[in-house]
């Protein structure tokens, strides 16, 4: 199913507005005009809200006709801005040919080709995307000058190029307090990214293969448990030594304890890196009870957390939180608990327990949003919108109408997989989430239908 996203520049909607509209990715600008650019705090806030990012370089109209040197110069500026925003390596920057490509002469196309060549000399061709009309995508992606295509319906006469990864299909649409264009992703990978986890994969830290794996049932997930290793030997001064510690923990769990694999889903080090343990969707051996291991992922901090020491760093807290949120996103839940919640243990130490109780605040956390919805509610609603993913659905009212118009009943919704595996208390929460967002008559309808479903 195509994912729904938006692009915007001077009139950004708020994050709760984006989530409520079912936006799963935001396409944002880099340019020589700082007023319209993606900023590092914005990139962080959108990422934390679970909204993916895509970046487009766009300056004056027709800037891509300026040829090779302009392409190289712009690519360097774009890369610096994207780096500052936290874009990981290997993600593309789209360059906008925001003029009608049809009347371009061969000499002008040669300038465009040269521009992209120049950009590729800085970024590498696999990181070059192009935005434009049908002909631009067909010619430039088809010709190998760009690896990624973002087609606009403008100048396209109703044609969509199969070479495009993204489609911009509606322009200047109001969304909450902002003005956006509507986009959809026609490919799973369209160059999206988030500021986020600096993941060290199993291959990167040299993991042994697991002896076996037991899958987790998504339907019974509650959250993620947080641990610490409680060994100050695990707290490495130099990050270059962290992978060796993780390998040693795996050896101990597999050989010393006889477990299937390293016990944890992920591990976080104080330098801000997240090590892939069992990963998401795999039962852990860390949480101390059968329920704990069945219904919770496990994230472990490499360190001792003794009062007065600096082992729990800002970067470490960010990494723990990112790993927890990563697990919870997989499970569609939001709870996080200290290991000591499951059984009598000091784990994960006083400092981390206090931090978890405070809601895992991190230094650069988003400022509180003035909005009626809680973050949880916004997330739930976003999940519902994402499940529907109907291009052009911009309001909760429209989504709820679609729910009932298309599937007629909550049963139908369940069968359609929209809220499949939701427990009664989650359906109840859904009703409560939707109610204040809808016209009273519609809210009554939904409440009635949900009540009937809950009574079964
Ligand atoms: Zn523990
Ligand atoms: Zn480290």
Q: What is the DSSP string of 304-327?
A: ---TTSS-S-HHHHHHHHHHHHHH
- Nearest ligand, CA 347: 1
Q: How far is the CA of 238 from the centre of ligand 2 (A)?
A: 7
Measured CA to CA, the distance from residue 407 to residue 15 in angstroms comes to 29
Q: How far is the CA of 352 from the centre of ligand 2 (A)?
A: 18
Residue 444 has a CB neighbour count (10 Å cut-off) of: 12
- Nearest ligand, CA 244: 2
- What's the pLDDT band for 87 if we cut at 50, 70, 90? confident
pLDDT at 109: 97
pLDDT at 233: 77
Residue 2: helix, strand or coil by DSSP?
Answer: coil
Measured CA to CA, the distance from residue 377 to residue 393 in angstroms comes to 19
Q: What average pLDDT does range 69-89 have in this prediction?
A: 92
- In the structure encoding, which two tokens stand for residue 101, read together? 């490509």
Per-residue model confidence as pLDDT tens digits over 171-217: 999 999 999 999 999 987 898 888 877 788 898 899 999 999 999 99
Is residue 251 predicted with pLDDT exceeding 60?
yes
Q: How far is the CA of 338 from the centre of ligand 1 (A)?
A: 8
CATH number for the segment(s) 199-357? 3.40.80.10
Residue 44: helix, strand or coil by DSSP?
Answer: helix
If you ran DSSP here, which 8-state letter would residue 418 be given? S
Q: How far is the CA of 313 from the centre of ligand 2 (A)?
A: 11
Q: How far is the CA of 234 from the centre of ligand 2 (A)?
A: 9
Q: What is the DSSP string of 266-302?
A: EEE-TTSEEEESS-TTB--S-SSSHHHHHHEEEEEES
The three state secondary structure string of 389-409 is CCCCCCCHHHHHHHHHHHHCC
* Lowest-pLDDT range of 126-135, 264-273, 390-399: 390-399
Q: What is the DSSP string of 69-89?
A: HHHHHHHHHHHHHHHHTTPPT
Residue 82, C-beta contacts closer than 8 angstroms, at least 6 positions apart: 30, 55, 91, 93
Which fold would CATH assign to domain 3-185? TIM Barrel (3.20.20)
Q: How far is the CA of 402 from the centre of ligand 1 (A)?
A: 45
- Nearest ligand, CA 275: 2
Q: How far is the CA of 273 from the centre of ligand 1 (A)?
A: 19
- In the structure encoding, which two tokens stand for residue 65, read together? 């006709």
**What does the mean pLDDT of the chain come to?**
83
Is residue 404 predicted with pLDDT exceeding 70?
no
Per-residue model confidence as pLDDT tens digits over 22-65: 999 999 999 999 899 999 889 988 987 778 899 999 999 899 99
Residue ranges per structural domain of the chain? 3-185, 199-357, 395-455
Do 3-185 and 199-357 agree at the fold level? no
- Nearest ligand, CA 240: 2
Is residue 380 predicted with pLDDT exceeding 70?
no
């Amino acid at each position: 199913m195509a994912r729904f996203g938006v692009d915007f520049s001077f009139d950004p909607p708020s994050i709760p507005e984006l989530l409520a509209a079912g936006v799963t990715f935001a396409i944002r600008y880099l340019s020589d005009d700082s007023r319209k650019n993606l900023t590092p705090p914005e990139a962080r806030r959108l990422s934390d809200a679970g909204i993916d990012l895509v970046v487009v370089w766009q300056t004056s109209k027709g800037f891509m006709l300026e040829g090779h040197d302009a392409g190289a110069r712009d690519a360097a500026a774009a890369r610096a801005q994207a780096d500052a925003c936290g874009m990981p390596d290997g993600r593309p920057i789209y360059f906008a040919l925001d003029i009608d490509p049809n009347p371009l002469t061969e000499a002008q196309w040669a300038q465009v080709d040269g521009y992209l060549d120049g950009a590729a000399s800085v970024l590498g061709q696999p990181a070059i995307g192009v935005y434009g009309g049908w002909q631009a995508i067909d010619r430039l992606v088809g010709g190998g000058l760009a690896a990624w295509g973002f087609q606009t319906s403008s100048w396209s006469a109703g044609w969509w190029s199969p070479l495009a990864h993204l489609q911009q299909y509606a322009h200047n649409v109001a969304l909450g307090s902002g003005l956006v264009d509507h986009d959809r992703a026609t490919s799973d990978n369209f160059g999206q990214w988030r500021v986020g986890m600096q993941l060290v994969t199993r291959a990167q830290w040299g993991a042994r293969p697991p002896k076996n794996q037991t899958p987790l049932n998504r339907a019974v997930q509650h959250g993620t448990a947080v641990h610490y290793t409680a060994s100050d030997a695990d707290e490495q001064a130099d990050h270059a030594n962290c992978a060796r510690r993780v390998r040693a923990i795996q050896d101990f769990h597999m050989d010393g304890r006889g477990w299937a694999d390293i016990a944890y889903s992920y591990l976080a080090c104080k330098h801000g890196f997240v090590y892939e343990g069992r990963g998401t969707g795999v039962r852990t051996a860390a949480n101390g009870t059968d329920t704990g291991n069945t219904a919770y992922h496990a994230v472990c901090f490499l360190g001792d957390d003794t009062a007065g020491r600096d082992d729990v760093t800002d970067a470490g807290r960010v990494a723990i939180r990112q790993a927890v949120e990563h697990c919870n996103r997989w499970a569609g839940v939001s709870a996080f608990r200290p290991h000591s919640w499951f059984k009598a243990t000091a784990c994960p130490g006083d400092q981390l327990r206090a931090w978890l109780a405070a809601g895992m605040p991190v230094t650069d956390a988003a400022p509180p949003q003035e909005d009626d919805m809680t973050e949880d509610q916004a997330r739930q609603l976003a999940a519902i919108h994402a499940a529907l993913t109907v291009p052009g659905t911009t309001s909760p009212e429209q989504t709820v109408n679609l729910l009932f118009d298309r599937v007629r009943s909550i049963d139908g919704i369940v069968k359609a997989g929209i809220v499949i595996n939701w427990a009664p208390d989650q359906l109840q929460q859904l009703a409560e989430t939707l109610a204040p967002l809808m016209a009273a008559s519609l809210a009554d309808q939904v409440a009635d239908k949900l009540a009937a479903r809950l009574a079964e």
